[in-house]
């Protein structure tokens, strides 16, 4: 068992499942809780994982609890809700790591609540989507106490290609929101370039190799080129989640012209029913304008 750390994992979405599999492969003992227990049972059929029936049950049998959930409310619920983590007994020495993308305010509130129970708390959101989660190549940004970061660094080393300690709680959240702000701007910029070219007779299949070979080409433009050409909008990172993250950035002081326009565009695309598609599906919304 790697470092003898018992891990409790909450959240078995597109990112959570491959991350849990990588931890088990690396030798960690992992228990899981998921609101939809069927997902946990499917994972149990594929791996050696224990299923808990509540966050409190999971916390009672773990050294480290990791949450990977879709939004602030979901994270708050597993900590503060009925049978939540904070309702468990004997929590001293437990380490809680939230790898979700949430607001710094949520992190500071939960970190304070955990401190009262003797729980150490790290915010550790990730940069990367499903494929990097599968290959263990996420980039992890961490806020909290450095000594706690060092104690669980072997977990981050398993899940990601790199992790970086940024300082006090909330700093990981700020870094992630800044990165996703840039991601959103890049995504919409790419979509707008494709729409403009199409209106003037240049197809995406013709344009995208030029973009990728130019100074504006990036890992993101290369990653999404095949999706655009093939009109494949299956979600690696859902548009509604990007819109949610830009909303969090707005709530935390993002009021720049491009960022404000980005927020409006993503919200409109979600209202058009594209929220469950990949973020590059904003192309479909822009193509109709």
Supply the residues annotated as catalytic.
176
Alpha helices (H) along 14-163: 16-25, 37-46, 55-60, 72-80, 104-116, 130-135, 146-151, 153-159
Contact 186, 164 (CB under 8 A): no
What single-letter DSSP state applies at residue 89?
A: S
DSSP 253: T
Output the six-digit token pair for 81: 């809700």
Phi, psi of 170 (to 5 degrees): 105, -25
Residue linked to tokens 């130019």: 214
Could you tell me the end-to-end alpha-carbon distance of the chain, in angstroms, rounded to an integer?
56
Cα separation, 189 vs 135, in Å, equals 28
CA pair distance 270, 199, nearest whole angstrom: 23
Q: Strand, helix or coil at 142?
A: strand
* DSSP characters over 44-83: HHHS--EEPSSHHHHHHT-SEEEE--SSHHHHHHHHHSTT
């Amino acid at each position: 068992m790697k470092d003898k750390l018992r891990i409790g994992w909450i959240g078995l979405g597109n990112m959570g499942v491959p991350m849990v599999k990588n931890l088990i492969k690396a030798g960690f003992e992992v228990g899981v809780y998921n609101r939809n227990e069927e997902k946990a049972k499917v994972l149990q059929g594929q791996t050696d994982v224990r299923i808990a029936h509540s966050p409190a049950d999971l916390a009672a049998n773990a050294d480290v609890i990791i949450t990977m959930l879709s939004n602030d409310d979901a994270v708050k619920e597993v900590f503060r809700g009925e049978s939540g983590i904070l309702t468990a007994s004997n929590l001293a020495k437990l380490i809680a790591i939230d790898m979700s993308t949430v607001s710094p305010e949520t992190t500071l509130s939960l970190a304070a609540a955990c401190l009262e129970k003797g729980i150490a708390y790290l915010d550790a959101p990730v940069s990367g989507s499903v494929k990097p989660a599968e290959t263990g190549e996420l980039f992890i940004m961490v806020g909290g106490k450095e000594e706690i970061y060092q104690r669980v660094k072997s977990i981050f080393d398993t899940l990601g290609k790199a992790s970086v300690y940024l300082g006090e709680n909330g700093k990981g959240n700020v870094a992630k929101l800044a990165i996703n702000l840039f991601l959103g701007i890049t995504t919409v910029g790419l979509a707008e370039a494709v729409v403009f070219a199409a209106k003037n007779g240049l197809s995406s299949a013709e344009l995208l190799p030029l973009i990728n070979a130019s100074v504006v080409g990036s890992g993101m433009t290369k990653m999404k080129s095949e999706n655009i050409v093939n009109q494949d909008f299956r979600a690696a990172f859902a548009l509604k989640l990007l819109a949610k993250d830009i909303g969090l950035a707005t709530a935390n002081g993002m009021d720049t012209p491009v960022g404000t326009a980005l927020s409006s565009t993503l919200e409109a695309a979600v209202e058009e029913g594209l929220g469950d598609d990949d973020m590059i599906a904003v192309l479909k919304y822009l193509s109709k304008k």
